[in-house]
Amino acid sequence: MLSYIRFSLILNLSLVNLLDLVMAKQTRGSFEGTLPDTGFLKQFRHLPKLVVFDLDYTLWPYWVDTHIDLPIKKASDGTVVDRRGVKLKIFAETKKVLETLKENKILIAAASRTQEPPAARDMLKYFDLDKYFDFKEIYPGEKTTHFQRIKKDSNVQYEDMLFFDDEKRNIVTISKINVVCFYLRGDMTMRILQEGLALFDQKRSNQ
């Protein structure tokens, strides 16, 4: 009888450990170590050659020149923090969005008007986003200047670009140079990427 009870306890503990292992794997960053499902891109007849992202409130939930107590650094435990040790973050699906574009050989650029370019570059570096960007234009001024330089460096025409930004004034300005612009009003997600690509496809199909 004691042997049976002992066996049952061992079996139950094994099942609990197995369940914990499965749950841990599911709750661990869903994107880490896996490639995103990019099959949805096949539905579009026209894809941009280059996608341009604003940074503040587009890839992360801050204005780095206003909301963060600079400088930004990486703590010993790997977290990214400001001067006071407040933990910083990017939007949950930012890396997945960038990886999706990179896997499909679509060029990626950053166009930011921040007053603190070093802080924006630190965010890109410490969150391991640098590797996704082919072009980075990060400095104050009109975004038309950013796009002129991106066009020159990439040799991609404006009509082959898609731009995500959370500020309406930038959307209005850049739309005038024939870039397809998507006005972002929340987190950058895979759903938003799909909507932006659909907008690009629609506009280019109507030309």
* Active-site residue set: 54, 56
**Virtual CA dihedral for 58, 62, 63, 69, nearest 10 degrees?**
-150
Residues 6+ apart with CB under 8 A from 126: 72, 73, 74, 80
- Could you list the beta-strand ranges (E) of the chain: 50-53, 73-74, 80-81, 107-112, 135-138, 161-165, 180-183
Tell me the CA end-to-end span of the chain in Å, nearest whole number.
Answer: 81
CB neighbour class for 110 (10 Å; exposed up to 12, middle 13-18, buried from 19):
buried
Distance from C-alpha of 129 to C-alpha of 156, rounded to nearest angstrom = 22
Give the helix/strand (H/E) hosting 6. Answer: helix 2-27
Distance from C-alpha of 112 to C-alpha of 138, rounded to nearest angstrom = 5
